[in-house]
Amino acid sequence: MINLETPRKFRGLVQQVHDVAEAFLRANSRKYDRAEHSYPHELDLLASLVDGMNDSGQSQGAGASGVRRDPAEEDSSVVHNGSNMSSVLSIIEMCWGDVGLLLSMPRQGLGNSAIASVADEEQLKRYERVWAAMAITEAAVGSDSASITTTAVKDGDHYVLNGEKIFVTSGDRADSVVVWATLDGSLGRAAIKSFLVSKDTPGIRVERLEHKLGIRASDTAVIVLDNCRVHESNLLGSPEIDTKGFAGAMATFDNTRPLVAGMAVGCARAALELTRELLEDAGVVMDYDRPLVAQSHAAASFIQMEADWEAALLLTLQASWLADNRRPNSMEASMAKAKAGRVGNAVTLRCVELAGTLGYGETELLEKWSRDSKILDIFEGTQQIQQLIVARRLLDLSSSQLR
């Protein structure tokens, strides 16, 4: 039966996470926006709490590991609301608190999602307590991740990694990094593998930290791999040179894109809520029943933003629902990311405009949210990459036909 309400079994979780986000994230939002690169100690306590919930099985997939598609027995006749959806619901609440701080949550890195998506059972156990950042992008390689130049050369039972990675979220604070490297630069995507590299391995170092437009609470590092030797058991997935491995790694995105879409949805909701409050305090009346042409411009703009926000939210939930029900969601994940990314950015910027210099100044968080939201339309695949993915699926075109 068609029903798009928050599942009953997650309503408690959502409220809990919301309270946490308010106390730990929102409360420290401006502090770490100003103190870029300083470590948010408040999150250590919170991370222990999340670990505890995970261990007791209460988390319902509140963290980065929630994206794993459990191959356990499934009954396709029953509709599931599972860990993909609870993860996305949690992330929405957390990012209503603060996107940068959510990204700084210990042991909840994108690398952890990659491990959850592609690691085998043994690796999963071995990496249970790691905090893993994700290192894909290079100075000359952004969206085109099949062209990476970082190399992995087999030497006995080790691989030797060489290269430089940029835009590594939590690259400084995490204890490990999932590094994408090629086994043979001439073989394209088939030769690309991901390796879990512990930061205490000789040959890996943090070169510098970036100064950014937004999400300043989150550290973004340049990482250099200089003859960094990792044991072959650290290669995630299969060591064979075949496109399946790359496809598997890319499939991580099917699981993580709805999460990033959720970040945009959460951030935009924060802006909408505050803007509504400010507008209503100023005497603006919003009426869902009256035609927008008969309402004030501010009220009409607000309802319009809310409409696009709602579409972004539901596309995001749809993508996670499909994943929970073991159905392909690659196109829907990209749809969610595309819509949420652009709506999150447009909404937060418009809210600043509606609030005037009050919105533009640092006394309110509106200006901060409008800076934070920009990255959400870029990382985990830019707006344009999402459109490319959707268009190829929709029009049944290969990457050589629709470039």
Nearest distance in Å: CB 335, other proteins: 5
Q: Does 308 bind other proteins (CB under 8 A)?
A: yes
Q: Which is nearer to other proteins, 270 or 388 (CB)?
A: 388
Whether 164 is catalytic: no
Q: Does 2 bind other proteins (CB under 8 A)?
A: yes
First and final C-alpha spacing in the chain: 40
Q: Which is nearer to other proteins, 196 or 389 (CB)?
A: 389
Q: What is the DSSP string of 121-140?
A: HHHHHHTTT--EEEE--BTT
Residue 199 tokens, joined: 């930061």
Q: Does 397 bind other proteins (CB under 8 A)?
A: yes
Q: Does 384 bind other proteins (CB under 8 A)?
A: yes
Q: Does 298 bind other proteins (CB under 8 A)?
A: no
Q: Are 10 and 80 in contact (CB under 8 A)?
A: no
Per-residue binding string, other proteins, 318-357, x by CB under 8 A, is: x--x----------x--x--xx------------------
Stretch that binds other proteins, among 48-56, 79-87, 103-111, 266-274 (CB under 8 A): 79-87
Burial 203-238 (b: 16+ CB within 10 A, else e): ebebeeebebebbbbbbbbbbbbeebbbeeebbbbe
The helix (run of H) or strand (run of E) holding residue 174 is: none
Identified binder of other proteins from the candidate list 27, 303, 346, 378, rule CB under 8 A = 303
Q: What is the DSSP string of 32-57?
A: HHHSTTS--THHHHHHHHHHHHHHTT
Q: Are 278 and 383 in contact (CB under 8 A)?
A: no
Q: Does 7 bind other proteins (CB under 8 A)?
A: yes
Q: Does 304 bind other proteins (CB under 8 A)?
A: yes
Pick the catalytic residue from 93, 306, 332, 380: 380
Q: Does 249 bind other proteins (CB under 8 A)?
A: no
Q: Which is nearer to other proteins, 35 or 397 (CB)?
A: 397
Q: How far is CA 219 from CA 26, 71, 236, 396, in A?
A: 18, 34, 25, 39
The torsion of the CA quartet 108, 113, 118, 119, rounded to 10 degrees, works out to: 10
Residue/partner pairs of 294-299 with CB below 8 Å, 24 or more apart: 298/354
Q: Does 45 bind other proteins (CB under 8 A)?
A: no
Q: Which is nearer to other proteins, 23 or 402 (CB)?
A: 402
Give the footprint of other proteins on this chain (CB under 8 A).
1-9, 79, 81, 85, 288-294, 303-304, 306-308, 310-312, 314-315, 317-318, 321, 332, 335, 338-339, 384, 387-388, 390-392, 394-397, 401-403
Active site residues per annotation: 380
